[in-house]
Structure 1
Amino acid sequence: MPSHRPTKKQIAIISMTTFLFITGSYLATMWSYQYSSTTEFCISCHEMVEPYEQYKASVHYSNKHGVVAECADCHFPVGSFNKWYTKITQGAKDSFMHLILDPDEIDHEKWRYAAVKKIKSESCQQCHKNLLPPELSKGGLIAHRAFLKGEVNQTCLYCHENLVHVSR
């Protein structure tokens, strides 16, 4: 029985096709990862209209420093694996909810409290690096020192939960 060995040309075509497929898949994955992390993507669903309006009225959108926190800055955890895991699980949940919920029946307050529980202090501390600024109140200074020393088992949002997604 004769063996059919691939020719050098066939090997080159298969190798190039495999390389292009893997490279294209990687680039498409990275593009979708980046795009789905933008505020533009987050607000493209009807259920995000109210939270987006609340965000635009907050200091995380408009402040004297001109720094704007994007949705992903707060709502995705720090670390590549954690971020990917959250994007997949939360994205699947959000997509499912988008398809079955009537926009007029969304309980934004309930969703807000659920989101607050998921946001970790590490996300806040990506931007808020100096927790002991000179203008901090005495109570804030005491609370932040205890937080930094690990004396309290609370997240930043325990004290700062009404900064962004609240009606103003």
Structure 2
Amino acid sequence: MTNHQGFFKRKLFMGVTIGAGIVFIIIGIVFWGGFNTAMEATNQEEFCISCHEMEENVFEEYKKTIHYANRSGVRATCPDCHVPKEWTHKIIRKIQASKELWHKALGSIDTPEKFDKKRLKLAQNEWRRMKANDSRECRNCHDFESMAVAYQKPRARKQHTNALQNGNTCIDCHKGIAHKPVHQLMDEEELEKLSAPNPDFAKPDATLRQPVNKKQQKLLDLSNNPPKSKVKMVPAQTNGADSNQSTSTNTASSATGFGIGWGDVPDREVTIFYPGQASMEWIFKGSEHGGKLPFKAGDRCVECHDNEAAEMGQKIVTGEKLEPQVIPDKRGSIAV
């Protein structure tokens, strides 16, 4: 017994005995475990919506989005998008968020009216944070170089490649994806500046993931060359003489027009879609048309929309987009 007591009384460093050192280690483990338990408790969705400001406003909007419910059953909760996973960044974010407790006590956003009044500013703060860290929390799940081109539409494939190579980040294009699109309240100059590419993030030689098997290659080929539209062009009614004369004239002019041998040009089916009340002003309104930036950079409409014209026309003609005055039974597109 005496030997054991002597062992624990041996001094290790600066007069601290082995026994005291063991006690300090145990206290440290308990403290660290408690600290991390408390940290994780504040990283749960239940904690995030324990305040009525969040539960009654942004949470209700989020429940209607694909991040809440989707075909794969994978849910991105509040902390997945708004709290870093790496410990150092997480601690910094928690310290920054402590001021939210102060505003909770002040009642700064304790009514829907107060919340809406400050909402754009709050959203801009979060957008700037995500812009600065290259949308770090988005990339916990989404990564450019893991995106398989075979599973993306041509438009998404084109824009993701542009973003990867030019230095754009997720939040540049996907504002309002889980909450009310308050970026539409910003003026175009401010929004364009906030969404501009960052050269530090650019990877000029990088590409999306190419097909790795026959199934993916087949999907990619089908995406690039979709089945022809079932909508048939209805020819105008003409009498025989006029029809023959018109055909003869068109054939002659098309064969010799502008010195080009049009007869050697292969046939191509083009889908013309109903544009509704779309305008150039709308095209250059980035808060509503995500194609503004690539269009200004030199991309043409057909590069993104070539294979989805029929789908676009259907959305417009049914009033889902760009057409407040729906015309009954009107076709959304015609293949010519």
Determine if contact 1:39/1:71 at 8 Å carries over to the other structure: yes
Whether 1:112 aligns to 2:123 is yes
Which structure 1 residue ranges, 5 or more long, are not aligned?
A: 1-6
Say which one has the larger Rg. 2
Bigger proportion of residues as helix: 1
Counterpart of 1:94 in structure 2 is 100
Secondary structure at the aligned position of 2:176 is classed as coil
Counterpart in 2 of 1:35?
41
1:65 aligns with 2:72: yes
**Who is 1:3 aligned against?**
none
Aligned length: 158
Counterpart-to-counterpart distance in 2, 1:64 and 1:156: 22
Q: CA RMSD in A?
A: 2.3
1:121 aligns with 2:135: yes
Of 123, 131, 134, which residue of structure 1 is paired with 2:150? 134
CA distance in structure 2 between the partners assigned to 1:102 and 1:123 by the alignment: 25
* Counterparts of 1:93 and 1:140, CA distance in 2: 38
CA distance in 1, matches of 2:149, 2:70: 17
5 Å-filtered alignment, 1:75-90, equals 75-90=82-97
> Does the C-alpha gap of structure 1 residues 102 and 116 become closer, same or farther in structure 2, counting only changes over 3 Å?
closer
Whether the aligned pair in 2 keeps the contact of 1:112 and 1:165 (CA below 8 Å) is no
1 CA distance for matches of 2:28 and 2:37?
14
> Displacement, 1:79?
2.7
Summarize deviations over 1:84-127 as a string: whole Å, max 9, x none: 1111212x121111111251122334322322222242221211
Cα distance in 2 for residues equivalent to 1:132 and 1:96: 45
> How far 1:58 moved relative to its partner?
1.2
CA distance in 2, matches of 1:59, 1:66: 10
User: Normalising to structure 2: TM-score of the pair?
Assistant: 0.43
The match for 1:4 is none
Confirm or deny: 8 A CA contact 1:47 1:98 kept in the other structure.
no
Aligned-pair CA distance for 1:60: 0.5
Tell me the amino acid that sits aligned with residue 63 of structure 1. N
Higher RCO, Cα 8 Å, sep 6+: 1
Where has structure 1 moved over 6 Å in runs of 4 or more?
none
Q: Give, in whole Å, the separation in 1 of the partners of 2:119 and 2:109.
A: 12
